[in-house]
Structure 1
Amino acid sequence: MSDDDDRMRRWRLVLGGGDADGTEEQLSPADAGMDQALAALYGGGSSDASGSGEGGGRGGDLGASAPRVARWLGDIRRYFPSTVVQVMQSDAIERLGLQRLLLEPEMLDAVEPDVHLVGTLLALGRVMPEASRRTARAVVRKVVEDLQQRVTQRTRAAVTGALNRAVRISRPQHRDIDWDRTIRLNLKHYQPHLRTVVPERLVGYGRRSNAVHREVLLCVDQSGSMATSVVYAGIFASVLASLRSLRTSLVVFDTAVVDLTEKLADPVDVLFGTQLGGGTDINRALAYCQSLITTPRDTILVLISDLYEGGSAEQMLRRVASLVGGGVQVIVLLSLNDDGAPDYDREHAAALANLGVPAFACTPDAFPEIMAAAIERRDVRGLIERLAAERA
């Protein structure tokens, strides 16, 4: 096929107007199938999944039928790469009102799973029939397993290394002294008349034990805008909970607060324990988290929220100030996903910055390094600025 022919073919697929588009281009059977798949979503006919709307241009629609949607999903998977499939699925949900068709197991079987679809399924979890719920759990589990493979090894390595470095003790028992590091650290204290080093500070090995060295509280806003962040937070919480030297808690909230810590052994159970949507009461959630803290100076509280407070913003900021004043490390993630720059309350983010609390968007790839820095009590703000500069 010449470049001109291919260009005309592409214009025909873009215009989708048949004989009236002026291209006089005849489509092959494969291109005709691709055109029909595009027409069902981007045509001018139906404005919703019911096919009841009117309009010109392409006349296809998905109709009020889950099997028809399933066939369409199979078509787009055949004609387009997975990245395009995910965009088209998202567009179909938004443009054609397919939320109600997500209740049908036939459609779920045909879906190309991704983190955004998981967020949609979780939002509908309370109203799904049991048959659809079983299929939805299978879809969610596939996505969770894929994401776990992506994040688990890196998170374990970063956090375990940070814990090993952080628990080197300054007043070790004799059997726990790291003599090499202790001598190197104290060479400046060599006493010539004694012909020895008088150590000012002893460095101990981090002893391998089941002792808890840090408490991590993940406090996650489950309002609808935070859907993908909720998915990643649930997976990271499950990974952190598997590390014996951490005591990890997961709290999700809207206007109510739900503690999902007991479900952390299975991230799918965690995700189906959330309920996306509703209002937001950050202060109430922070108050609950504050009640869980036993050793403030060894506690890291990660608030994942866009900071749109539906309760008292003044009380929320006072609560954060109280936590910081008590020695708790507080970090605010405005989002935890790969979706780009989030929408968030800039006034509240600035107020938190004045309290010494960093508030920033975080990608899943950056989260392990952020947690490692917090565990070692390194400069998280400096790390954030470095990561932002690297992304730019």
Structure 2
Amino acid sequence: MLGGSAEESTGTPALPGDTRMDAALAALYDSSGRGKSKRRSAGLGASAPTVARWLGDIRTYFPSSVVQVMQKDAIDRLGLAQLLLEPELLDAVEPDVHLVGTLLSLNRVMPEASRATARTVVEKVVREVEERIAQSTKTAVTGALNRAARTTNPKLRDIDWNRTIQANLSHYLPEYRTVVPERLVGYGRKSNAVQRDVVLAIDQSGSMASSVVYASVFGAVLASMRALKTSLVVFDTAVVDLTEKLADPVDVLFGTQLGGGTDINRAIAYSQSLISRPDQSMFVLVSDLYEGGIRHEMLKRMAAMKTSGVQVVVLLALSDDGVPSFDRDHAAALGALGIPAFACTPDQFPDLLAVALERGDVGEWADRNTAGQG
């Protein structure tokens, strides 16, 4: 109903509010020339004040979810990334995960005058993500670790009825059509000692921006739990260990550098050096598997890690962006090794953690719950 291509059938907008909405949309979407009215002059230009006014307009006329889409489209279609280095423009944007990814890709060229404002934008998004996922993650992990411990003298509320029935099938009484349990199996209650080691390895190539944000926040949440020993590394063609920064996921994100090449094999090799208790360890590789390193070495290392007893999972994406682009040959090769490779949303990740920490079948869980199976 709005836009140059609609005017032949609907006419120009009649109400002042509609006219301003039409102009805000035209500045972005008519600038490509597709369906653009000859009477229009669209585009945002290369002026920060002009863009700031446009950002203010779209926040006035559209809901937050639409504003985020339009901002992303403006960056992608009109090449406005460099303008985001200006503090006054950063103050006008609607923070979201995709904007954080763009800011992180500009991290190394960001002037000092913009850095504090950019950090504020990133921190706002991180805290919102943290609020969304922290409690569900802690609940899932705590429950999984408790269930992983078994006792033969459980309290009533801790009885694992499925395991108890399985353990007492020989005591089935046909006349009563029931099992008389001679031995109860229940969930144990472990101490606060470290029970599992978790290593997150995150691909920081440009296409993985949303996954980097979510994985960093998850890493910080897991690091806050004393029952887990959490390590986090990011990689392109080099590997950077950011474990010491896990107390603050914002510090983790500013320690990344989105873009560049990818050497997954090198990242796996470093991650192997962090694992000292294979049968009590979980390795999560977050990558689209477009390998720039040595393919057969990567697969060999992953197979060795799994054989040693490590619970290995490959996430092709950890985001809400839908089915990702990924190297299907590498995903299939990992699948043949018994290593599941699939996309996962942030809301699903706590359940995935629970299954993995209980040493459950992650591949079966992925088949039931996710899209983008490798």
TM-score (norm 1): 0.84
Shift of residue 202 of structure 1?
A: 7.7
Q: Determine if the alignment matches structure 1 residue 358 to structure 2 residue 340.
A: yes
Shift of residue 65 of structure 1?
A: 1.7
Q: Determine if the alignment matches structure 1 residue 337 to structure 2 residue 326.
A: no
What 5-or-longer segments of structure 2 have no aligned partner?
172-180
Distance 1:45 1:154, change over 3 A: closer
Distance 1:182 1:56, change over 3 A: closer
Q: Within 5 A, what are the aligned runs for 1:273-352?
A: 273-352=255-334
Shift of residue 80 of structure 1?
A: 1.3
Selected match of 2:24 from 12, 31, 37: 37
Selected match of 2:56 from 42, 51, 74: 74
AA paired with 1:205?
Answer: G
Selected match of 1:233 from 215, 218, 240: 215
CA distance in 2, matches of 1:301, 1:202: 29
CA distance in 1, matches of 2:289, 2:12: 53
Tell which deviates more after alignment, 88-97 or 59-68: 59-68
Structure-2 residue corresponding to 1:51: none
Structure-1 residue corresponding to 2:178: none
Distance 1:282 1:61, change over 3 A: same
Structure-2 residue corresponding to 1:15: 4
SS at match of 1:132: helix
Shift of residue 84 of structure 1?
A: 1.5
Matched-pair contact (CA < 8 Å) for 1:45–1:59: no
CA distance in 2, matches of 1:95, 1:58: 18
Matched-pair contact (CA < 8 Å) for 1:167–1:213: no
Residue deviations 1:321-343 (CA, integer Å, cap 9, x gap)? 11011111110000000101100
Q: Determine if the alignment matches structure 1 residue 85 to structure 2 residue 72.
A: no
Distance 1:26 1:383, change over 3 A: closer
Q: Determine if the alignment matches structure 1 residue 98 to structure 2 residue 98.
A: no
Structure-2 residue corresponding to 1:193: none
Structure-2 residue corresponding to 1:7: none
Residue deviations 1:177-220 (CA, integer Å, cap 9, x gap)? 53765995765688xxxxxx986x9867323x331110001111
SS at match of 2:285: strand
Matched-pair contact (CA < 8 Å) for 1:335–1:362: yes
Q: Determine if the alignment matches structure 1 residue 381 to structure 2 residue 363.
A: yes
Residue deviations 1:244-295 (CA, integer Å, cap 9, x gap)? 1000111110000011111111111111111100000001000000001010
Matched-pair contact (CA < 8 Å) for 2:201–2:286: yes
CA distance in 1, matches of 2:125, 2:22: 29
TM-score (norm 2): 0.88
Quote the RMSD (CA, aligned, Å): 2.6
Matched-pair contact (CA < 8 Å) for 2:140–2:351: yes
Distance 1:372 1:45, change over 3 A: closer
Structure-1 residue corresponding to 2:154: 178
Percentage of pairs with the same residue = 62
CA distance in 1, matches of 2:83, 2:16: 28
What 5-or-longer segments of structure 1 have no aligned partner?
1-9, 48-54, 171-176, 191-196
CA distance in 2, matches of 1:160, 1:26: 57
Shift of residue 96 of structure 1?
A: 1.0
Matched-pair contact (CA < 8 Å) for 2:84–2:103: yes
CA distance in 2, matches of 1:45, 1:158: 47
Q: Determine if the alignment matches structure 1 residue 146 to structure 2 residue 135.
A: no
Distance 1:375 1:75, change over 3 A: same
Selected match of 1:206 from 189, 198, 201: 189
Distance 1:182 1:270, change over 3 A: closer
Distance 1:157 1:30, change over 3 A: same
AA paired with 1:15?
Answer: G
SS at match of 2:50: helix
Matched-pair contact (CA < 8 Å) for 2:4–2:26: no
Structure-1 residue corresponding to 2:14: 27
Shift of residue 44 of structure 1?
A: 3.6
AA paired with 1:239?
Answer: V
Tell which deviates more after alignment, 24-33 or 132-141: 24-33
Larger Rg: 1
Q: How many residues align?
A: 356
Tell which deviates more after alignment, 80-89 or 253-262: 80-89
Shift of residue 91 of structure 1?
A: 1.1
Matched-pair contact (CA < 8 Å) for 1:44–1:57: no
AA paired with 1:34?
Answer: M
CA distance in 2, matches of 1:147, 1:188: 46
CA distance in 2, matches of 1:211, 1:341: 38
SS at match of 1:250: strand
